[in-house]
Amino acid sequence: MLNSACFFNSTFCLQNVQNFAARIITSSRKFDHINPVLTELKCLPVESMLIYRDCILVFKCLRGLAPDYLAKKFKNRSNIHNKNTSNKNKMEIPGYRTAAGQRTFNYRAVSLWNSLPEMLAELTNLASFKKELRLHLQRYI
């Protein structure tokens, strides 16, 4: 399993493998553009798949479908203070000063969750969340 905070070189190599496999499956030529091929196969790029996996894990944590030790890492801003702000439904981003701290699952996952559209974040069914998230990632990333 690949860590979402891995170095660029790891994801680059995996993306090359995915592109090669997609070309074999579709009999595409080496210099054909790969995005239409991946879209035809309904396959997300490696980086998007890592985002997809992290967002699903956060969804499970927030809906009580994940273990408690993971669910306790996430806090809504409305639980921290009673101020009525436009960001009250967002998650509290942990403060890390170093790049190593910003590569932790907690920081990455909260940042990704806060960047999702409200329509996605408000879904309650896991199957519909997965479907809508995949469509969102195919459209915008």
For 33-61, how does the pLDDT look when each residue is reduced to its tens digit (9 = 90+)? 988 898 889 889 998 999 999 999 999 98
* Sign of the alpha-carbon torsion through 68, 77, 54, 10: negative
For 12-29, how does the pLDDT look when each residue is reduced to its tens digit (9 = 90+)? 899 999 999 999 999 999
Mean pLDDT value of segment 51-78: 86
Predicted confidence (pLDDT) at residue 140 exceeds the cutoff of 90: no
Residue 117: left (phi > 0), alpha (psi -120 to 50), or beta? beta
Which pTM was predicted?
Answer: 0.79
